[in-house]
């Protein structure tokens, strides 16, 4: 059999022959060398040592400072509703009108009764004057009969008749005077009925008892209402209360702070409730943006059923941001204590406990076991394990491990006690905010000017 090599076989043989005859022409394989990676970039900071304000944080509920039910004061049919649901009303504004016919008739009847009672007094007083005149006349006749009987100029019968007539006149005078008093009593009674009739007539116009926002009406137009029927409700939430509770443990902790001040020789005075700040946050808020004052502490003490003390704070609510019935978080500060703080992101945990990664003098990473304490809005207290001279990694932890060399970018971080307590940036004074706004505006105008400037002439630049 004759062997005929294929084209690929011929090419392979030719290539192999060339490599054997000319080894320096590039047929040697290149050596694989592993390039050394640059150090990982991390961001470090020094722990912050400063006093922090301890606080207690609890759940709370909001209620309006003023809430009043609008009730009917008389029985009748509703003729008119003169408000819209949700409308802001002022105390004394007209809300409902109830039919008036019956009460106007009762008022007119009371006025007539009062007029009759007044006329009866006039009649009774006239009768008194008549009785007084009769008494004077009969008293004169009795005295004359007395003089005559002494001289035997009249009979005993005439004398006794004059005496009896005088006694009758006195009794008649007393009777007419009592009639006057009775008529005056009737007049006062009639006046009282007239006043009540006027009140009932006035109550047919239902007015707002307080200022605030009114709810929808509970009774529709044309329906019959009774005395005391609830028609709607007015809520004044320009200021709101927040009710919350402290556990007995927290109450004792506050008490311990007071006792410590007394034992240290400080003069301790019970603080005014209005001087104790309380901070509030809603579910979607960042930090605690609302500030109020403590308003009330339950005077009955700890509730034995729940082991808590009821408290209440008051907050201004000019823009209706706080709704009655809303569940919120409440934070109340207590005392200031010294502390060492690091960002909470810098703390890790493993089987040996909490730790932080630090960067030494030669930029080598090491593990520092730490004991942590309370958390403050993204920061955590380190009770032991770190000093203010340590450089703690808080960004780039996933690229770091103990023993490797890193490239640290050191940043000095600061935070105010207000930011720690409320979990939000500290507000600048109005003047500083205005200066900052002007600076930003000037920078924006400069950038806009640079953008609008014509590009340089390339021909001139080349020359």
The DSSP result for 115-140, as a single string, is HHHHHHHHHHHHHHHHHHHHHHHHHH
What average pLDDT does range 301-312 have in this prediction? 93
Number of H helices, E strands in the chain: 7, 20
Question: 185-194, pLDDT tens digit by residue?
Answer: 999 999 999 9
Query: Which band of pLDDT confidence, cut at 50, 70 and 90, is reported for residue 336?
Result: confident
Retrieve residue 54's tokens.
């301890």
Query: Which band of pLDDT confidence, cut at 50, 70 and 90, is reported for residue 131?
Result: confident
Angle between helix axes 156-202 and 101-150 (nearest 10 degrees) is 170
Find how far residue 56's CA is from the centre of its chain.
18
Write down the domain spans for the chain.
100-203
Domain 100-203: assigned CATH number: 1.10.287.620
- What residues contact residue 146 under an 8 Å CB cut-off, 6+ apart? 159
- pLDDT at res. 455: 43
Query: With a threshold of 0.85, does the pTM exceed it?
Result: no
Query: Which band of pLDDT confidence, cut at 50, 70 and 90, is reported for residue 371?
Result: very high
β partners of residue 391: none
Q: Are 221 and 81 in contact (CB under 8 A)?
A: yes
pLDDT at 48 over 90: yes
Question: 198-228, pLDDT tens digit by residue?
Answer: 999 999 999 999 999 999 999 999 999 999 9
Q: Are 298 and 251 in contact (CB under 8 A)?
A: no
Query: Which band of pLDDT confidence, cut at 50, 70 and 90, is reported for residue 268?
Result: low
The single residue listed with the structure tokens 């008749």 is 161
Question: 220-249, pLDDT tens digit by residue?
Answer: 999 999 999 999 999 998 999 999 999 999
CA distances from 95 to 74, 208, 228, 229, 315 (A): 15, 7, 16, 14, 29
């Amino acid at each position: 059999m004759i062997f005929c090599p294929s084209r690929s076989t011929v090419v392979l043989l030719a290539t192999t022959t060339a490599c054997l005859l000319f080894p320096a022409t590039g047929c040697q394989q290149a050596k694989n060398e592993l390039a050394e990676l640059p150090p990982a970039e991390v961001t470090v900071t020094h722990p912050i040592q400063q006093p922090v304000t301890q606080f207690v944080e609890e759940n709370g509920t909001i209620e309006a400072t003023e809430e009043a039910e609008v009730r009917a004061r008389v029985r009748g049919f509703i003729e008119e509703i003169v408000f819209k649901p949700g409308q802001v009303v002022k105390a004394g504004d007209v809300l409902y009108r109830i039919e008036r016919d019956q009460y106007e008739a009762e008022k007119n009847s009371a006025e007539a009764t009062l007029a009759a009672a007044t006329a009866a007094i006039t009649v009774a007083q006239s009768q008194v004057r008549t009785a007084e005149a009769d008494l004077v006349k009969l008293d004169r006749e009795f005295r004359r009969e007395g003089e005559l009987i002494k001289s035997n100029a009249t009979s005993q019968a005439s004398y006794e008749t004059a005496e009896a007539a005088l006694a009758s006149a006195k009794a008649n005078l007393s009777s007419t005077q009592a009639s006057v008093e009775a008529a005056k009593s009737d007049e006062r009674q009639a006046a009282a009925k007239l006043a009540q009739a006027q009140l009932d007539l006035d109550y047919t116009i239902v007015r707002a008892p307080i200022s605030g926002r009114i709810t929808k009406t509970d009774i529709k137009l044309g329906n019959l209402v009774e005395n005391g029927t609830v028609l709607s409700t007015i809520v004044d939430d320009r200021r709101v209360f927040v009710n919350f509770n402290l556990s007995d443990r927290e109450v004792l902790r506050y008490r311990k702070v007071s006792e410590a001040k007394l034992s240290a020789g400080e003069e301790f005075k019970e603080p005014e409730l209005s001087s104790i700040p309380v901070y509030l946050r809603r579910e979607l808020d960042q930090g605690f943006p609302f500030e109020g004052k403590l308003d009330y502490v339950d005077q009955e003490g700890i509730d034995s059923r729940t082991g808590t003390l009821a408290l209440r704070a008051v907050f201004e609510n000019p823009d209706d941001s706080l709704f009655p019935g809303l569940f919120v978080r409440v934070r109340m500060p207590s005392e200031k204590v010294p502390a060492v703080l690091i960002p909470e992101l810098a703390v890790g945990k493993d089987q040996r406990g909490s730790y932080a990664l630090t960067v030494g003098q030669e930029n080598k990473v090491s593990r520092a076991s730490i004991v942590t304490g309370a958390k403050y809005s993204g920061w955590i207290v380190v009770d032991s394990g770190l000093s203010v001279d340590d450089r703690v990694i808080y960004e780039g932890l996933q690229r770091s491990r103990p023993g490797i060399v890193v490239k640290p970018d050191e940043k000095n971080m600061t935070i105010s006690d207000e930011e720690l307590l409320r979990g939000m940036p500290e507000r600048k004074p109005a003047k500083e905010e205005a200066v900052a706004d002007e600076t930003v505006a000037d920078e924006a105008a400069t950038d806009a000017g640079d953008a609008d400037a014509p590009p340089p002439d390339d021909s001139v630049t080349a020359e």
